[in-house]
Amino acid sequence: PFRIWKKIGLPFHWRRIRKRKVFLTGILVFILLLYFLSSFIWFVDFSSSEELEHLSREQILSLAADLGVKPGALKHSLDLRKVEKTMEIQLPELAWVTIEIEGTRALISVVEKELPGKQEWERKPGHIVASKDGVIQEILVISGQAQVREGDPVSRGQLLISGLITPSASGEGEKPDPNQLVQLVRARGIVRARVWYEATAQVALVETGVKATGKSVRVFQLKLDDRLITLKGPAKIPYAHYEKKEIFQKLPEWRNWQLPVELIKTTYYEVKPYRRELGEEEAKRMALEKALAGIREELPEGIKIVDRFFSTDSPEKGTVKVKVVVETLEEIGVYKPLT
């Protein structure tokens, strides 16, 4: 007779591990989670070979975040070369941009262009042209020659103050001296114009739609090939009416092989249908506010409305349409260098 005192070796360890399925599942989930988290960007750093003069660190990082390079972004979903090119286009002060990803960190490196100094730029000859359509309310020429008068309608790009000073007659009835040279100056002045903005909005007298109740549930699912496994969340959505938002997360490629695993996070928001009848005055007020909100989005920052006009109409039965025109007084002159 014989006795087995101890069982050692990989086959025996594997047999014991197989009996502990929860432990084995935990290890597998931990490895998958670690691998999954490593596919995201968690840190974004910035570097420049020289101190920035024309841009700020915040401007560059903000644009990069808008283009997708930010903490929480999935690495393999980013086209870094496209992001670099877009940043160079949207920030012309940059000579070049490079973005490198090291592990879970993205490093943005930039070099600024050597732009002419402000004083040098301001000395260059140029014109003042209109930045938008309007009617001239006031023009004050500091240097250059005025090309428009008060009350003149102008269109965008039209010359307002010329940087070319042409010879003028020395007295009434005399012709300009052809021997005088044309002077090139940096046109300066103030040009204010009346500018109009227009918008229309239409509101139905019977308002229908859905309204969120504030309740929501989340469902986490793992997709393996064609199989869908619910990891967390209810099997049946407890709402009769709902809106849903889905987020799909794929594991990154490993050695040019795409793992057939995908995590799906779905949020269901409960909504309830509603129907509300509006009075004609309330509908007019809502349409007016809607039209004014659209105009305010177009207005430059700091510009005030000096006058406004509106008219109402009912193009369709059961609707109210409001047309709004607002008038502003703003500086429309912009510098354009001579070419």
Decide if 91 contacts 55 (C-beta within 8 A): yes
Helix 80-90 vs helix 57-66: crossing angle, to nearest 10: 130
Mean pLDDT of 272-292: 90
Instruction: Tell if the pTM clears 0.75, that is, is over it.
Output: no
What architecture does CATH give domain 43-112?
Answer: Roll (3.10)
Backbone angles phi, psi at 166, to 5 degrees: -90, 155
* 212, pLDDT greater than 60: yes
Burial 168-203 (b: 16+ CB within 10 A, else e): eeeeeeeeeeeeeeeeebbbbeebbbbbebebbbbb
Poorest-pLDDT segment among 12-16, 186-190, 215-219: 12-16
Cα–Cα distance between 339 and 336 in angstroms, integer?
Answer: 9
pLDDT of residue 47: 86
213-270: pLDDT as tens digits: 999 999 998 887 677 888 889 989 999 999 999 998 876 655 555 566 788 899 999 9
CA dist 248 → 191, 219, 223, 228, 270 (Å)? 54, 12, 10, 13, 21
If one compares 170 and 273, the residue with the highest pLDDT of the two is 273
User: Over the stretch 320-329, which tens digit does the pLDDT of each residue have?
Assistant: 999 999 999 9
- Residue type, position 260, single letter: P
The domain ranges of the chain are 43-112, 126-205+278-339, 208-276
pLDDT at residue 155 is higher than 50 = yes
16-60 pLDDT per residue, tens: 655 666 666 677 777 777 777 778 888 888 888 778 877 888 999
Determine the Cα–Cα distance for residues 208 and 203; give it in Å rounded to an integer.
Answer: 11
Q: Are 137 and 78 spatial neighbours (Cβ–Cβ below 8 Å)?
A: no
